[in-house]
Amino acid sequence: MRRLFVTIIPATFLMVSNAQTQEPRPSTVAGRSTVYAPHGAIATSQPLASAAGLAVLQRGGNAVDAAVTAAAVLNLVEPHMTGMGGDMFALLWSADEGRLVGLNASGRSGALMTREELLRRSHRSVPIHGAEPITVPGALSGWAALLERYGTITLAEAVRPAIELAEEGFPVTPIIARQWALEVEKLKRDEGARATYLVGGERAPEAGEWFRNPDFAATLRSIAQEGPATLYGGELGERIVERVQELGGFLTVEDLESHTPLWVDPISVDFKGYRVYELPPNGQGIAALEMLRILEPYDLAAMGHNSARYLHHLIEAKKLAFADLAAWVGDPEHMTVAPRDLLSDGFIEARRALVDPHNAAERVEPGAAATTSETIYLSAADRHGNMVSFINSIYWEFGSGVVVPGTGFALQNRGAGFTLEPGFANTVGPGKRPFHTIIPAFVTRTAADGNEEPWLAFGVMGGSIQPQGHVQVLLNLLLFDMSLQGAIDAPRFRHLVGLQLALEPPIGDDVRRALAAMGHVILPDGSVSFGGGQAVMRLERGWAAGSDPRKDGMAVGH
């Protein structure tokens, strides 16, 4: 998802301007009810994807089958956010195994991508657009790995609904149409992107207008026939490498051939009687866990939901966690700090001591850790008790903006997540996994028999909002007893950098004035996105599901 560049307006001006010129703020962003279902449920950010996943569940498929099917459809219907040209991560509760497993299907940088070469090209940071930030797309390998180990259908069966929709076409939904329209100039810069995603090569499709992608259908047919190998070193991969190198990128066929997804052990912390899981680095999930650990001793409920005191403590915890992300987190093969060190008692106590309850910190340094030698999110559950927390992204809108002609999908720009500053785990280099923003989350609780049982698969998409969103949604559920849909609907904050803070309009002027008095600089309403979340919750009997009204998606069940 895109980084955000905003104009800072002094808080004093904002308070006067808001009070004098704005209409009364809406009291809620709600507009949906929690979905309850007896057998299974799925929540995605687009109705056609939810419908495709639901159909799989109704035919007897499991949560993994439904998730991969929905992900393939999302590549088509929400192409600016996701696709097989990007990466994916998943947390899966296996009912048969009685445990949570993690999958990291992120790709590495190309063998030709070096800091020295980027500096030679006069770059001061890794470019955001074009072929240079393209890294190995890992999503397809993740889809295949999930199905092979835990699914009941083949990859060919999973992509069939997306093939049919790509050939027949579909009407574009309103929010996606608005976001698509903002990227027209970016898409015009690339021959393949212009031909694939712009009507007549000039404009984005409008809400309700039908869109077809026959090139993507052909690509999926080749994958159905030949398997993932066609991308990872086969004919499709060779076409991608040829085009990427022609445009100045760094991938080689060998980079694609050597790619493998990784099964990993999730990391977790206890919070208020529950256990919250995230995937280990190279992602930012550890920031959500660090925030929860910093916040746990505070009586947040007594402060009041979305009060100035409450929001201030969450914001300051976020700043500390993100400072540690920037300093310590990247490709785990290059990290000098283990995740457990960043979550240890001594480290967390030292970080918590820096929270000033009355004043906003403008600059936060990383902790002195002991060293050792925008995205789609969906969740699904089935009648067997399997639950999937699944996220797939091409990073910025339409990723790099590069579509290899005839393939029908955009390639990610995940290499833009590297830094050119030397000496960091996330310093750019060949064959490295970049720092990742996309993170699925999962929560378990203790059952009556004393064993761990699955409770919640959830996530909030949207770049740096994700750890902040995870914490806010979870606290809504655990501290304020909100319904699942209510916890997703509730207005959010988003801290950017320094003192910059965005608040959703339902958060009132009194809270804004109090936060400004603490030193926070409140950004204009509408200046940033607050992400979009989905969730599926296990009940004593059946399931609950919710989908964010900030997106076009929906939760459905059977």
Q: How far apart are CA 99 and CA 362, in angstroms?
A: 42
Q: Establish whether 419 is a catalytic residue.
A: no
- SS3 of residue 77 by DSSP: helix
Chain-centroid distance of CA 16 in Å reads: 36
Strand 532-538 to 500-503 pairing: unpaired
Q: Is 219 exposed, middle or buried (0-12, 13-18, 19+ CB in 10 A)?
A: buried
* Alpha helices, DSSP H, located in 329-407: 339-342, 345-352
Contact 527, 503 (CB under 8 A): no
CB atoms within 10 A of CB 341: 18
Residue positions counted in the chain = 558
Contact 419, 205 (CB under 8 A): no
Provide the β-strand partners of residue 457. 442, 536
Contact 302, 265 (CB under 8 A): no
Q: Is 79 exposed, middle or buried (0-12, 13-18, 19+ CB in 10 A)?
A: buried
Q: How far apart are CA 327 and CA 509, in angstroms?
A: 35
Query: Encoding tokens for residue 26?
Result: 């809406």
Q: Label residue 52 left, alpha or beta by phi (over 0 means left) and psi (-120 to 50 means alpha).
A: alpha
Give the side-chain half-sphere CA count within 13 A for 555.
Answer: 31
* Active-site hit among 375, 419, 437, 444: 375
Residue 556's nearest CA partner among 35, 11, 1, 187 is 35
Query: Encoding tokens for residue 121?
Result: 């090209």
Per-residue DSSP letter, 134: -
Residue 1's nearest CA partner among 422, 365, 335, 469 is 469
The catalytic residues are: 375
